[in-house]
Structure 1
Amino acid sequence: PDKSNPDYWGGSIPWISAKSMYDDFISTSDLFITEEGLQAGSKIAKKDSILLLTRGSGLFNRIPVCYVVSDVAYNQDVKNIVLKQENVTSIKFLYYWLYGNKELLSSMLETTGIGAGKIDTKRFLNLSISLPSQKEQARYIHLMDLLFDKIELNRRINANLEAQAQALFRSWFVDFEPFRDGPFVDSELGKIPQGWEICCVEDLASYMVSGGTPKSLDSSYYNGDIRWFTTKELKDGFLFDSEKHISETALKNSAAKLLPENTVLMAIYASPTVGRLGILTAESTYNQAAVGIIAKKEIGYAFLYLLLLSERTNLNNLASGAAQQNLNVGIVKRYRVLVPTIDILNSFNEIVNPIFTTIKNNTAQIHNLSALRDTLLP
């Protein structure tokens, strides 16, 4: 639907594009259209069908295949797959087969004239699949359902826990609900509880530095044992294994920095990643499009993470650049924030740190189950 027409948007129908195809099982989106918007150009993918992204720059990084849990609308870059013969195979089996054959789908990828990728529909429809009996299909589906369901359950638990942590942060440090009966004083950020301070982000850190990228043409710099994250991997959560790894030689001969567990990474370059966060789970490096922040012990990484998350919109409004909206390390360092007294901070961390530990453990399980899934499916 025409994005400039307000009658088409803000309805109740989830609208799926490449940007919203990140969940394995999909039922909602960040964008919703109206019935008028649906009539103006979108189509509906029915529950228990498949969505496959066939066009766009996102195809160079992934081949998103999503199972439709409830009816959604979708755009022209996405194909909806439904079964012709239910007695031959199950839609779930086809979904898991496609999920397990991402390399095959990647081999079909063509480059368009504008630098995006596409999968030719005719070639896709002519793919050959060896079908086991329906009894065998049911066995495979049962095993994969167990894995996918546990991964999805952990994701939902984590989303609920993080929502709780964010709500607690807002209650204490934005709305001041537990402190409303105490004295308040004027500050550059408005009325604040007496005894609290306004300081810079760098005052909360024991160390703060941008990353670096080893020369890509030097083969000795890559495929090492050191994790090296790019900002596209920052998705507001704990970071386990990175897509690329660098060597000790690369670390010594580049601007990359090795920072410890619980370092908070923040993307500072280019929409849509600018402002996104990640938390290291082991010593790692990262590229120059991110800044790494080691929180002071008394501050804690959980408080720092929630603070930066709550200030994302305000920080991003400071980004500059004609073609791309960028922050820089200096802007982030000098950004002014409110910090409570140490006893209040300690009380907050006593509540929120166990929540983050549970989220971390659940994320580790997701990581391990996903690795098992991606080993078994092919």
Structure 2
Amino acid sequence: MPNNWKTYKLSDFIDINPLVKLKSHESYSFVEMKDLDANNRTVSPSDFKPLKGGARFQNNDTLFARITPCLQNGKICRVKGLKENVGFGSTEFLVFRGEKGVSDTDFVYYLSREPFFRQFAENNMIGTSGRQRVAKQAFQNLELELPPLQEQQSIASILSAIDDKIENNLAINKTLEEMAMALYKHWFVDFGPFQDGEFVESELGMIPKDWEVLRLQDVSSLTAGGDKPKKYSNQKTENCSVPIYSNGITNEGLFGFTDISKIKEESITVSARGTIGYVCLRTQPYVPIVRLIAVVPNKKLISCKYLFFWLLNQNISGNGTTQQQLTVPDFKSTKVLIPQIKLINDFTEIVNPYYEKINSNKIENQTLTKLRDTLLPKLISGEVRLKEFQEQFATN
């Protein structure tokens, strides 16, 4: 243990479920478990409703999911955006805050994300299978060697700077996506630049003359996702670097990595079961597996970016009584509005640089996330001392 570090009982270092005074039946900001995203540092309230029990907290507190599978999935976020600085949420949150004069609240958040801390919580879950949870009391006698307050603040500052950059890139990407969507709607939904021209009746309503309506199968090829490859890895490696995508929204449905791609062109995937109709643009080679449909546009008739935005603006649904699903035979008959190819190409030329920047930011965020996740346990455990890290960083 470094000379100036001390051994703490966790219950003396972290204020667990701190007292927050709220009035019964008055309305406050509310945070649900589903609001937490393991890939995001912060979470904002999704509702405002009367108090009826649950965890209570204030801005900057850490919400720590204590129930399976949310704990295993890493649902740990700092809460922000609470009206009047207070709120409440799921009974399945533990709330963490720094102890005044002992621990820094920012550091406490990163400590709660440290692999050993999370593993300890998982190992001390109790209850029946499928509904196991970790109790507050599990942390009472956990002892950890931790740095003094000033060093905590410096460590948290380094890790926060990385997270700030990640969040800034995400915000830029969101803005670029909104700009592209606004342009698409102005041209191809509201027909803004074409209002002075002649319109004709179609299966999709009134559209500019010389535009047409075709089926999805007429302008693209559709492939249902297959079984997972025999050779794959949970982590990206030299021999397994092609992403495998399945259904899901988090990380765009990343399942793992394999060695040979199935779809090589720029394309679109649409989730066919579970979260039906989730549309994602794919710009790199990949393999789609079960619960996905891959759509590869015919570039002579339509661009991938245009078709992506068209599908984003459709209400895509499935069929079935016991389990809803979207099938290729049903989906391929989807109607698509086809403007003149020059307009499609002009639109694509404008938005392509947006998506080049978006992809660049995503790659940078992957690097930053790996750096943060590597540094986190080493700084918090003292394996890498702050002074050593700063000196190494200054020379690089």
Same fold by TM-score, threshold 0.5 exceeded? yes
* Partner of residue 52 from structure 1, selected from 45, 55, 64: 64
Output the CA distance in 2 between the equivalents of 1:304 and 1:126.
57
- Does structure 2 retain, via aligned residues, the 8 Å contact 1:25–1:69? no
CA distance in 1, matches of 2:304, 2:141: 51
Percent of counterpart pairs with the same letter? 27
Q: Does 1:303 align with 2:303?
A: no
Q: Distance in 2 between matches of 1:14 and 1:286?
A: 39
Shift of 1:117: 4.5
Report if aligned partners of 2:121, 2:138 keep a CA contact under 8 Å in 1: no
Contact kept in structure 2, 1:63 and 1:106, CA below 8 Å: no
Counterpart of 1:131 in structure 2: which amino acid? Answer: L
What is the CA–CA distance in structure 1 between the aligned matches of 2:280 and 2:28, rounded to whole Å?
31
CA distance in 2, matches of 1:324, 1:59: 27
Query: In the alignment, what sits opposite 1:41?
Result: 53
Summarize the Cα distance change of 1:247–1:349 in structure 2 as closer, same or farther, 3 Å threshold: closer
117-126 or 152-161: bigger deviation = 117-126
CA distance in 1, matches of 2:250, 2:151: 39
Aligned-pair CA distance for 1:356: 1.4
**What SS does structure 2 have at the residue aligned with 1:130?**
strand
Paired amino acid for 1:74: G
1:268-302: CA deviations, max 9, x gaps? Answer: 102xx222233334322121100111223242222
SS of 1:191's equivalent? strand
Decide whether the 8 Å contact of 1:45 with 1:73 is kept in 2: yes
Contact 2:224–2:292 (CA<8 Å) still a contact in 1? yes
The equivalent of 2:80 in structure 1 is: 69
CA distance in 1, matches of 2:340, 2:69: 47
1:229 maps to which of 222, 245, 258: 245
Aligned-residue Cα RMSD (Å) equals: 2.7
Confirm or deny: 8 A CA contact 2:43 2:77 kept in the other structure.
Answer: no
Contact 1:195 1:340 survives alignment (8 Å): yes
Could you tell me which residue of structure 1 aligns to residue 40 of structure 2? 24
Closer, same or farther: CA 355–65 of 1 in aligned 2, 3 Å: same
CA distance in 1, matches of 2:126, 2:256: 23
- Residues in 2 aligned to 1:125 and 1:203: alpha-carbon distance in whole angstroms: 64
Q: Which runs of 5+ in 2 are unaligned?
A: 1-25, 378-396
From 146, 163, 166, the counterpart of 2:181: 166
Shift of 1:126: 3.9
What displacement does 1:184 show?
0.4
User: Displacement of 1:110 after TM fit?
Assistant: 4.2
Give the direction of change, closer, same or farther, for the CA distance of 1:155–1:12 in structure 2 (3 Å limit): farther
Which 4+ stretches in 1 moved above 6 angstroms? Answer: none
CA 1:89/1:325 → structure 2, altered by over 3 Å: closer, same or farther? same
The equivalent of 2:364 in structure 1 is: 365
Give the distance between the partners of 2:147 and 2:69, measured in 1 at CA.
35
Q: 1:25 to 1:328 in 2, by over 3 A?
A: same
After superposing the two structures, state which structure 1 stretch, 45-54 or 15-24, moved more. Answer: 15-24
Q: 1:336 to 1:125 in 2, by over 3 A?
A: farther
**Structure-2-length-normalised TM-score:** 0.78
Contact 2:124–2:138 (CA under 8 A) maintained in structure 1: no
- For residues 247 and 364 of structure 1, do their structure 2 counterparts lie closer, same or farther at Cα, with a shift above 3 Å needed? closer
Q: Distance in 2 between matches of 1:297 and 1:151?
A: 34
Shift of 1:176: 1.3
The offset of 1:373, in angstroms, is 1.0
Matching residue within 218, 221, 224 for 1:203 = 218
Tell me if 1:88 matches 2:102: yes
Following TM superposition, by how much is the alpha carbon of 1:151 offset from its aligned partner in structure 2, in angstroms? Answer: 0.3
- Give yes or no for contact 1:264–1:280 (8 Å, CA) kept in 2: yes
AA partner of residue 64 (structure 1):
K
Q: CA deviation at 1:156?
A: 0.8
Aligned-residue offset at 1:235: 5.5
Going from structure 1 to structure 2, the CA distance change for 1:135 and 1:234 (only over 3 Å counts) comes to closer
**Contact 1:110/1:118 (8 A) holds in 2:** yes
Are the equivalent residues in 2 in contact too, given 1:59–1:117 (CA < 8 A)?
no
Partner of 1:8: none
List aligned pairs for 1:244-259, cutoff 5 A. 244-246=256-258, 258-259=262-263
SS of structure 2 residue aligned to 1:348: helix
Shift of 1:129: 2.6
Residue equivalent to 1:108 = 123
Larger Rg: 2
Q: How far off its partner does 1:78 sit?
A: 1.9
Q: 1:87 to 1:245 in 2, by over 3 A?
A: same
Q: Matched residues in 2 for 1:156 and 1:99: separation?
A: 23
Q: Is the 8 A contact 1:235 1:276 kept in 2?
A: no
Partners in 1 of 2:277 and 2:121 — Cα distance? 30
Change over 3 Å in CA distance of 1:58–1:103 after alignment to 2: closer
SS across alignment from 2:70: helix
Contact 1:169-1:306 within 8 A present in 2 as well? yes
1:56, CA displacement in angstroms? 4.5
**What TM-score do the two structures reach when normalised by structure 1?**
0.81
Task: Judge which range, 11-20 or 188-197, deviates more.
Answer: 11-20
1:166-204 Cα distance to aligned partner (Å, 9 max, x none): 121112111112211111000111111111111112223
- 1:99 paired residue number: 113
Shift of 1:355: 1.2
What is the alpha-carbon distance in structure 2 between the residues aligned to residue 77 and residue 344 of structure 1?
Answer: 52
Secondary structure class of the residue paired with 2:182: helix
2:55–2:94 contact (8 Å) kept in structure 1? no
